[in-house]
Chains A and B, each alone.
Chain A
């Protein structure tokens, strides 16, 4: 009895994970090997859905959009989060309020954020174009142009996640021994030199962690571009900002091609797993 008790104690998690995690994953894989429609039968087609995907221009377009928006969003986001964290790590007034405050965008409903940002970025009556007009720049067709839409969606993502990452960085920074800074200060190192030479190297595992988390979130990007595109799965007239997750939803739940949609889901899963694997290798190297 004593020997199986530990297993019994951890069993609930694995049971739940099997039912809600592994089973859907495997079932999706099974569906992806079929020509499977919502209505009517389904037929085993082997890997045809996957080979079809490789020559599907809409899929590659969605991949490029997802990757582009991810880079455009994540790089400035993490830099900004680092900077915010280092500011919050100093002796500021109302420090707790500020630390909590930067998390507020993260707890706001993402749909609400999407609706507000879509209005800010609307071409004719949006606040952003109005401000650009005051500065003498012409209106930007945020929804129409590829670069404009990527930028707009990236700001939406950053608005939500910068504060969250800043808090993680802050927690890591507080673990950095004070005496390192004191010693550096005695040696005459400036604040920015201390930041780049002490803080950042010691934060490297944390930075890699946030990169992995951002990668998983970024590659699954869905709600922000959806709300930005007025609730349409198309992601713009030419799919300028249709992400892989949107393409998957469109295929499975609007065209009702469950087989093909499942193949997209599995491909996305494999891409995320591959990127996370690369990240893990980098962590190991960094830790060495």
Chain B
């Protein structure tokens, strides 16, 4: 009997372990009520739509909206590509980020022409270049309705700046770094003060991207769509400044999106990071409630720039293209874009939203009541688009960022890393 009890105990323990292992892999189904139509929306990160879809469901009782969000863009893109190639699996509405948009635009037959759903009237609601980005080259097909643009700013930790004897007021902080060289000098002052933080700026890839998006109208590709990373002055300048940041020791070496990076926000590993406005929500989520009021928003060195931003498209495979297009129109309307901005930070691309007094007056409580509506809104209309070319995202995430990280980790010399980045870029572009 004793052996039996012991065996039963062991079996129960094994079962419990298996059960806990499998329980989290199961997700419940859509939760639609009978008779309701389920519209699925796929995107990455946080578009700030959670409350908006509840509002939409209230005003459209026959519709149930299901959000499927993937954390990282790099995981989202291959999934979407496979769904589109297979002709099944994609949501009714899908988010397309600027770095992957051009590649998907080359297969415009996969997407519904939103002009057929009355979206043409909305043209003047949006920033001109952003609207054009969502259309095909001949202008006949509208693939995506613009969601947000990526106006740049810097987020910094007031408490750590104060501890290092630097000014912590956002005007004064902006004065510290009109240029990236002055940003690096500030970083050296910060490092010398030994605040206990692991570095000044989170990771070398952050300023690399910001500088690249600021400096010029192309990055890795030239205007003809040919890979030109080797000769691009924007890429070279960003690379050189990044190398200087590494050799001057101002980065905290926290690889973006890694566990150390996420924890670094909570632990105060670094004092500053670039924040395109969509990053505000990510910083707040990672830093947690305990750090409320410690972050603030200042100007970005080197003048404005656009980093990121997305569109909402409706794949052809959707069984409810009409309803999906309606939802996309709703989510990109001026009112919704202001709401999403307040919820998660994505900066409106809808001109009416940018002019909305509610948007202009909005202060972000978490970021020490920074007047983010004003900070991001004032430069939004002057933003200049960067021509990104077909595989921008892949080249950035799988060629240049790893190369930068390898130098930052001390695993590679700058020249070797540059050569590897170029070789990998060729591989990605093939």
Q: Is the pairing of A and B real?
A: yes
B6 touching A124 by the CB < 8 A rule?
A: no
Interface residue? B32 (CB, 8 A) = no
Contact yes or no, A124 B14, CB < 8 A: no
Separation of A44 and B140 alpha carbons in the complex (Å): 36
With contact pairs A143-B258, A230-B257 given, residues A107 and B17 touching in the complex (Cβ less than 8 Å): yes
Q: Is B411 touching A230 in the complex (CB atoms < 8 A)?
A: no
Q: Given the known inter-chain contacts A39-B107, A124-B264, A230-B259, please indicate yes or no for A97 contacting B9, CB distance below 8 A.
A: yes
Could you mark each residue 121-133 of chain A with 1 if its beta carbon is under 8 Å from any beta carbon of chain B, else 0? Answer: 0111100000000
Let me know if B255 and A240 touch, CB within 8 A. no
Contacts of A38 in B (CB 8 A): 81-82, 85
Interface set, chain B 257-279, CB cutoff 8 A to A? 257-260, 263-264, 267, 269
- Bitwise, B19-48 to A at CB < 8 A (1) or not (0) is 001100100000000000000000000000
Q: Which of these, A124, A144, A231, A234, contacts B411 with CB under 8 Å?
A: A144
Contact B259 A144 (CB under 8 A): no
Residues on the A chain within 8 Å of B3, using CB? 96
Task: Give A144 to B406 CA distance when docked, in angstroms.
Answer: 7
Query: If A94-B6, A108-B21, A256-B81 touch, does A237 touch B403 (CB 8 Å cutoff)?
Result: yes
A143 to B255, CA, bound (A): 10
Count contacts on B: residues with CB < 8 A to the other chain: 46
Q: Chain A residues with Cβ under 8 A from B96's Cβ?
A: none
Q: Which A residue sits closest to B401, measured CB to CB?
A: A237
- CB within 8 Å for A124 and B260 given contacts A144-B409, A237-B406, A254-B78: yes
In-complex Cβ contact of B72 among A100, A118, A145, A231 (8 A): A231
Distance in angstroms from B252 CB to nearest chain A CB is 8
User: How far is A268 from B260 in the complex, measured between Cα atoms in Å?
Assistant: 33
* Residue A79 CB within 8 A of the other chain: no
Given A104-B14, A124-B254, A238-B406: A145 and B411 within 8 A (CB)?
A: yes
State whether B402 touches A234 (Cβ < 8 A). yes
Is there a chain B Cβ closer than 8 Å to A60's Cβ?
no
Q: Does B351 contact A (CB under 8 A)?
A: no
Q: Main secondary structure on chain B at its contact with chain A? A: helix
Contact: A125 with B260, CB < 8 Å?
A: yes
B121 at the interface (CB under 8 A from A): no
B428 interface contact, C-beta 8 A: yes
Q: Hey, which chain A residues are within 8 Å of B6, CB to CB?
A: 94, 96-97
Q: Which residues of chain B have C-beta atoms less than 8 A from A255's C-beta?
A: 394, 427-428, 430
Complex Cα spacing A118 to B72, Å: 18
| Chain A residues with CB below 8 A from B412, complex form | 237-238
B10 touches A101 (CB 8 A): yes
B384-404 interface code vs A (CB 8 A; 1 in, 0 out): 000000000010001000110
Q: Are B263 and A124 in contact (CB under 8 A)?
A: yes
Considering the chains assembled together, what is the distance between the CA atoms of A107 and B17 in angstroms? 8
Min CB distance A208 to B, Å, is 29
Residues of B within 8 A of A141 (CB): 409-410
- Cβ contact of B14, chosen from A107, A122, A240, cutoff 8 A: A107
Task: State the total of A-B contacts with C-beta under 8 angstroms.
Answer: 99
Contact with A238, one of B7, B78, B107, B420 (Cβ below 8 angstroms): B420
Q: Chain A residues with Cβ under 8 A from B81's Cβ? A: 38-39, 256
B405 touches A (CB below 8 Å) = yes
Chain B nearest Cβ from A13, distance in angstroms: 27
Chain A's closest residue to B407 (CB) is A237
- The reply to whether A97 and B10 contact each other, CB–CB distance below 8 Å, is yes
- Per the bound structure, the CA–CA distance linking A232 and B85 in Å amounts to 22
- Does A112 sit at the interface, judged by CB under 8 A? yes
Cβ of A23 < 8 Å from any Cβ of B? no
Whether a CB of chain B sits under 8 angstroms from the CB of A119 is yes
A255 to B78, CA, bound (A): 8
Q: Cβ of A14 < 8 Å from any Cβ of B? A: no
Q: Mark A224-238, 1 if CB is under 8 A from B, else 0.
A: 000000111010111
Task: Flag whether B75 is at the interface (Cβ < 8 A).
Answer: yes
Nearest CB in chain B: distance from A73 CB, A: 22
Measured in the bound complex, the distance between the Cα atoms of B214 and A182 in whole Å is 81
Contacting A at CB under 8 A, from B220-266, are: 253-255, 257-260, 263-264
Closest B residue to A101 using CB positions:
B10
In this complex, what residue of A is CB-closest to B424? A58
Least distance between A261 CB and chain B CB atoms (Å): 12
Residues of A close to B264: CB separation below 8 A: 124
Residues of A within 8 A of B259 (CB): 118-119, 122, 125, 230
Across the interface, name the chain B residue whose C-beta is closest to A123: B260
| Cβ-based interface call for A190 (8 A) | no
Q: How far is the CA of A143 from the CA of B260 in the complex (A)?
A: 11
Asked if A17 is at the interface of the complex by the 8 Å CB criterion, the answer is no
* Residues of chain A within 8 A of B78, CB atoms compared: 253-254, 256
B64 neighbours in A (Cβ, 8 Å): none
Which residues of B sit under 8 angstroms from A143, Cβ to Cβ?
255, 258, 409
Q: Does chain B have a CB within 8 A of A51?
A: no
Residues of A within 8 A of B105 (CB): none
Would you call A5 an interface residue if the criterion is a C-beta within 8 Å of the partner chain's C-beta atoms?
Answer: no
A237 touches B107 (CB 8 A): no
Question: Shortest Cβ distance from B316 into chain A, in angstroms?
Answer: 14
- 9 tightest A-B contacts by CB? A144-B409, A237-B406, A237-B405, A109-B21, A100-B10, A124-B260, A237-B402, A122-B259, A125-B263
**Other than the known A104-B14, A143-B409, what 10 A-B pairs have Cβ atoms closer than 8 Å?**
A96-B6, A103-B14, A124-B254, A124-B269, A125-B259, A231-B72, A232-B74, A240-B411, A254-B398, A257-B430
Can you pick out 12 interface pairs between chain A and chain B where the beta carbons lie within 8 Å of each other? A39-B81, A100-B10, A100-B13, A100-B14, A107-B21, A109-B21, A109-B25, A122-B259, A124-B254, A144-B411, A145-B409, A145-B411
